[in-house]
């Protein structure tokens, strides 16, 4: 809200309708806030998945368990998301190639990818395979610091 008011004060001589300008600017700032917040969750899930895939496994059993868990999670998301995620991350297609394969416009594939990652994030969190970022940061805050 402060940013909106500062922007208003800075450019009020150019604004014809202050009320509608403030309402529109406030709405845009709220949208940008929630988009940034969603992206943080996607990055956290992507990081958790990549870390789990990158960890060396002493035997094949943990890898088999992880594959089984991921197959279970993927079966719980919508088929459209399953296809998008498999092409993009499983087979390594670029977003434009994924859009062409599935009949999406190349300009809308990023929105579809974000929605599918959100569905995957919710499912992974619901299954307990990934802890939400807020829970991780609270755990780190609750650990007492070592005395120097």
Q: Per-domain residue ranges for the chain?
A: 41-52+61-135
* Residue bearing tokens 């994924």: 98
Domain 41-52+61-135 has CATH 3.40.50.300: no
- Give dist(CA 113, CA 108) in Å, integer: 9
- Give dist(CA 58, CA 62) in Å, integer: 8
* Residue bearing tokens 């845009």: 28
- Give dist(CA 10, CA 13) in Å, integer: 8
Packed helices 109-127 and 18-54: angle between N→C axes, nearest 10 degrees: 60
- For each of the chain's 148 residues, which pLDDT tens digit applies? 777 777 888 887 888 888 888 888 888 888 888 887 777 766 666 666 666 655 555 556 566 677 787 888 888 999 999 899 888 888 888 888 999 999 999 888 889 988 888 888 888 888 777 776 655 445 444 444 444 3
* String of DSSP letters for 43-73: HHHHHHHHHHHHS--SSHHHHHHHHHHHHHH
pTM of the model: 0.51
């Amino acid at each position: 809200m402060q940013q909106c008011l500062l922007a208003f004060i800075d450019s009020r001589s150019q604004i014809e309708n202050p009320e509608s300008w403030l309402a529109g600017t406030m709405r845009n700032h709220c949208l940008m806030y929630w988009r940034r917040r969603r992206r943080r969750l996607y990055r956290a899930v992507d990081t958790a998945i990549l870390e789990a895939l990158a960890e060396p496994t002493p035997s094949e059993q943990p890898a088999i368990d992880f594959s089984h868990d991921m197959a279970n999670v993927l079966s719980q998301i919508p088929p459209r998301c399953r296809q998008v995620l498999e092409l993009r991350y499983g087979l390594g297609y670029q977003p434009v190639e994924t859009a062409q394969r599935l009949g999406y416009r190349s300009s809308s594939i990023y929105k579809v990818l974000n929605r599918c990652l959100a569905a995957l994030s919710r499912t992974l969190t619901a299954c307990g395979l990934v802890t939400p970022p807020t829970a991780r940061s609270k755990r780190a805050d609750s650990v007492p610091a070592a005395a120097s």
